[in-house]
Amino acid sequence: MAVQTAATSTDSAAVDLGPAAALSCRECGHRVPLGPLFACEECFGPLEIAYDFSSYGADELRKRIEAGPANIWRYAPLLPVPADVADKPNLNPGWTPLVKADNLARELGVTGGLYVKDDSGNPTHSFKDRVVAQALEAARAFGFTTLSCSSTGNLAGAVGAAAARAGFRSCVFIPHDLEQGKVVMAAVYGGELVGIEGNYDDVNRFCSELIGDPAGEGWGFVNVNLRPYYAEGSKTLAYEVCEQLGWRLPDQIVVPIASGSQLTKIDKGLQELIALGLVEDRPYKIFGAQAAGCSPVSTAFKAGHDVVRPQKPDTIAKSLAIGNPADGPYVLDIARRTGGAVEDVTDEQVVDAIKLLARTEGVFAETAGGVTVGVTRKLIENGVLDPARTTVVLNTGDGLKTLDAVAGTGLTATIRPNLDSFREAGLA
Ligand SMILES: *Cc1c(COP(=O)(O)O)cnc(C)c1O
Ligand SMILES: [Zn+2]
């Protein structure tokens, strides 16, 4: 595997990424200095950020977070970013609403408290702004001048916007047949947007090739050679949920799965809060959600397998359509260790769930949100998710980007502008 070095020298002493101390291999623990690397040179396992949190006391850290800005940078002491990150040009995502979903709870029979963590209000209307913000700081630290990614849609928009704000060139790659809302959103920020004839897994393979080629020199691929940094952004979802619950762990959390990165880092974030003494150490369960038309992880979970067999995606939930998810095996580990599960729903159930969430809570989710709400409903019906426990469901994107999913939803009636016509239409 080609593991590229940075455009400029990466003397790790010169790299200030806050509490991030090194990269460490998830498989064998081998440590290397911080750099634009993603695979272990010993075993090809994925590299993750290792931190030095040793100077933190729980009370002082909690106060510092609470006094911080109303965005992800309140958690800067727990992220691979410099201490002055909030002063740099970026999109300042995060601190999105944790909606107490009492109406939805009633429909689903949840009595223990149901919440929707609604990430549709981020700057580019998906959770991806959280992860890109971390990768941007790494790109700055390593001297990259171009930001890039392989994307199922939302990431391309988040990278385009972040690059525009920070003054980077951006060139991003997507499957050529994405939803119009995602294509426009990715293009409008003025960077280069390239459609690849193939699915996401083809796009990803192409990007890996480009990284090893001189044509990709000086390029920071947020989810490839900057992946260890990028991935940490998902921890902020875990931090926010706990802080918004009053520094308490949820009993159950339902998370969508594309590559599986978000789910694994939510677990990492919860573990960190426990280790740091910011929340009480109690059991929690993590549930993964996929669309039936791209369900490699839930298929493996239900079959009791440790390996994830790649699939060819065919679903309206395009933002989750990764047939060969890099973090799939780790998702299986986490679901099993915490006593959770991984489940999938059909496209029809996704559409029903989008409408259910909109009708009950006034939250318009993209198809990925329909997947998590649909899976939540199915897990309750199957007796897998406990309705008497505090449950958090993630909505990771905005329904305006996937309007086709709810095509046919529209006018109740068309009338002439007079009361007779209003009455004739049965609206009085
Ligand atoms: C990217 C994405 C996810 C999750 O992606 P992972 O690769 O599993 O981290 C979830 N929801 C939406 C809307 C996304 O765009
Ligand atoms: Zn290793």
CATH number at residue 296: 3.40.50.1100
User: Do 313 and 330 lie in a common domain?
Assistant: yes
Q: Whose CA is nearest to atom 7 of ligand 1?
A: 259
In this structure, the answer to whether residues 139 and 225 fall within a common structural domain is yes
Write the CA distances from 298 to 30, 252, 266, 402, integer angstroms.
Answer: 30, 17, 18, 23
Whether 283 has a pLDDT exceeding 60, the answer reads yes
pLDDT in tens, 212-227: 899 999 999 999 999 9
CA of 262 to the centre of ligand 2 (A): 21
What is the pLDDT at residue 13? 55
Count other Cβ atoms within 10 Å, centred on residue 304: 8
417 occurs within a structural domain: no
Q: Is 388 exposed, middle or buried (0-12, 13-18, 19+ CB in 10 A)?
A: exposed
Task: Tell me the CA–centroid distance for residue 29 and ligand 2, in Å.
Answer: 6
- State which of 125, 127, 201, 395 you would mutate to test the pocket of ligand 1, scoring each by most atoms of that ligand within 8 A of its C-beta: 127
Which residue, by CA, sits nearest to atom 3 of ligand 1? 258
Atom of ligand 1 nearest to the CA of 223: 7
For residue 421, is it within any domain?
no
- Decide if pLDDT at 8 tops 80: no
Residue 150 lies in a domain: yes
* Structural domain that includes position 266: 98-125+234-406
Which of 126, 131, 155, 222 has most ligand 1 atoms within 8 Å of its beta carbon, as the pocket-test mutant?
126
| pLDDT cut 70: percent of the chain above it | 97
Ligand 1 centre to CA of 20 (Å) is: 24
* Residue 321 Cα to ligand 2 middle (Å): 28
> Are the C-beta atoms of residues 122 and 130 closer than 8 Å to each other?
yes
Total number of domains constituting the chain: 2
Confidence class for position 1, pLDDT limits 50, 70, 90: very low
- Which pLDDT band holds residue 195 (cuts at 50, 70, 90)? very high
Residue 80 CA to ligand 1 center (angstroms) comes to 20
Nearest CA owner, ligand 1 atom 5? 258
Tens-digit pLDDT profile for residues 11-35: 445 799 999 999 999 999 999 999 9
pLDDT in tens, 89-119: 999 999 999 999 999 999 999 999 999 999 9
Residue ranges near ligand 2 (ion) with Cβ within 5 Å: 25, 27-28, 30, 40, 42-43, 45
Examine the domain organization and report whether 103 and 152 are in the same domain: no
Q: Give the C-alpha separation, 6 to 4, whole Å.
A: 7
Three-class HEC string of 100-156: ECHHHHHHHCCCCCEEEEEHHHCCCCECHHHHHHHHHHHHHHHCCCEEEEECCCHHH
Ligand 1 atom with the smallest distance to the CA of 256 is: 10
36-76 pLDDT tens trace: 999 999 999 999 999 999 999 999 999 999 999 999 999 99
Q: HEC states along the chain? A: CCCCCCCCCCCHHHCCCCCEEEEEECCCCCEECCCCCCECCCCCCEEEEEECCCCCCHHHHHHHHHCCCCCHHHHHHHCCCCCCHHHCCCCCCCCCCEEECHHHHHHHCCCCCEEEEEHHHCCCCECHHHHHHHHHHHHHHHCCCEEEEECCCHHHHHHHHHHHHHCCEEEEEEECCCCHHHHHHHHCCCCEEEEECCCHHHHHHHHHHHHCCHHHCCEEECCCCCHHHHHHCCHHHHHHHHHHCCCCCCCEEEEECCCCHHHHHHHHHHHHHHHCCCCCCCCCEEEEEEECCECHHHHHHHHCCCCCCCCCCCCCCHHHCCCCCCCHHHHHHHHHHHCCCEEEECHHHHHHHHHHHHHHHCCCECHHHHHHHHHHHHHHHCCCCCCCCCEEEEECEEHHHHHHHHCCCCCCCCCCCCHHHHHHCCCC
Task: State whether 118 and 146 are in the same domain.
Answer: no
Ligand sitting nearest the alpha carbon of 25: 2
Domain boundary among 163, 197, 230: 230
Look at residue 415 and tell me if it is in a domain. no
Cα(353)–Cα(330) distance, integer angstroms: 27
Shared domain for 271 and 211, answered yes or no, is no
Which atom, in ligand 1's list, is nearest to the CA of 257?
8
Rounded Cα distance, 232 and 264, in Å: 10
Cα of 234 vs centre of ligand 2, distance in Å, is 23
Name the closest-CA residue to atom 14, ligand 1: 319
Residues 225, 241: one domain?
Answer: no
Centre of ligand 1 to C-alpha 419, Å, is 48
- B/e letters for 238-249, b = 16+ CB within 10 Å, e = fewer, are bbbbbbbbeeeb
Atom of ligand 1 nearest to the CA of 119: 13
Q: For residue 394, is pLDDT > 60?
A: yes
Q: Per the domain annotation, does 413 fall within a domain?
A: no
Band (pLDDT 50/70/90 cuts) for residue 78 is very high
Q: How far apart are CA 38 and CA 20, in angstroms?
A: 15
Residue 276, pLDDT > 80, answer yes
Helices 347-361/367-381 angle, 10° precision: 90
Q: Is the pLDDT of residue 2 over 70?
A: no
Same domain, 104 and 144: no
pTM above 0.85, yes or no: yes
2 located within any domain: no
* Domain match, 285 and 383 both: yes
* Rounded distance from Cα 255 to ligand 1 centre (Å): 9
Domain identity same for 33 and 17: yes
Per the CB < 8 A criterion, the answer to whether 358 and 104 are in contact is: no
How far is it, in rounded angstroms, from Cα 410 to Cα 338? 42
Same domain, 333 and 377: yes
User: What pLDDT is attached to residue 14?
Assistant: 72
- Is 424 a member of any domain? no
Does residue 119 sit in the same domain as residue 22?
A: no
| Residue identifier of the C-alpha nearest atom 12 of ligand 1 | 396
Ligand nearest to the CA of 39: 2
- Asked if residue 88 is part of any domain, the answer here is no
Mutate which of 120, 264, 396 for ligand 1 pocket (most atoms within 8 A of beta carbon): 396
- Residue scoring higher pLDDT (12 or 371): 371
How confident is the model at residue 269, as a pLDDT?
98
Q: What is the rounded average pLDDT of the residues 398-421?
A: 94
Other CB atoms within 10 A of residue 167 CB:
8
329: CA distance to ligand 1 center in Å? 16
Length of the chain, please? 428
Ligand 1 atom nearest the C-alpha of 126 is: 13
Q: What average pLDDT does range 281-301 have in this prediction?
A: 98
Q: Which listed ligand is nearest to 294 at the C-alpha?
A: 1
Q: With bands split at pLDDT 50, 70 and 90, how would you rate the model's confidence at 278? A: very high
Portion of the chain with pLDDT greater than 90, in percent: 94
Same domain, 118 and 26: no
Ligand 1 environment, Cβ below 6 A: 126-128, 154, 256-262, 319, 366, 368, 396-397
Choose one of 230, 246, 263: the last residue of a domain.
230
The predicted structure's pLDDT at residue 230: 98
Q: Which pLDDT value is given to residue 10?
A: 45
Tell me, rounded to whole angstroms, the distance of Cα 134 from its chain centroid. 13
Please tell me the number of the ligand nearest to residue 399's CA.
1
Ligand lying nearest the CA atom of residue 37: 2
User: Given 164, 195, 230, which residue is the final one in a domain?
Assistant: 230
